[in-house]
Amino acid sequence: MDIGFIDMGSAMATNALKAGHTVRVWNRSREKTRELADQGASVIDTPEQASAGDAAFSMLADDHALRSVLVDGGLLKHAPKGLVHVNMATI
């Protein structure tokens, strides 16, 4: 499975990598992606690239961040048909 993580969920991304999945990660603080990159995740440049696979998980801090990334940032607009988006935030 090809999975994108937005503002991460490091433990979930690590487990997905260990299970053999393709993992792409994006974080507003890019340095937070280094450990996952060292484990084999691809660091992507924009959050909309997280929607290129089968599923995208987001863990954004609040309503403003969610709207900024998903709507204003274009993730929903560019998401392919059939993409599963899972919002893990407590917004």
For residues 49-66, average pLDDT: 89
Among 25-29, 47-51, 61-65, 87-91, name the one with the lowest average pLDDT.
Answer: 87-91
State the pLDDT at residue 4. Answer: 95
Whole-angstrom distance, CA of residue 59 vs CA of residue 34: 18
Domain 2-87 falls under CATH 3.10.129.10: no
State the CB neighbour count (10 A cutoff) for residue 1.
Answer: 12
Domain ranges of the chain: 2-87
Residue 90 has pLDDT above 80, yes or no: no
Q: What percent of the chain has pLDDT over 90?
A: 46
The 3-state DSSP composition of the chain as helix, strand, coil percent (nearest 5) reads: 40, 20, 35
For residues 62-81, average pLDDT: 87
For residues 44-72, average pLDDT: 89
CA proximity to 70, closest of 82, 58, 81:
58
State the pLDDT at residue 39. Answer: 96
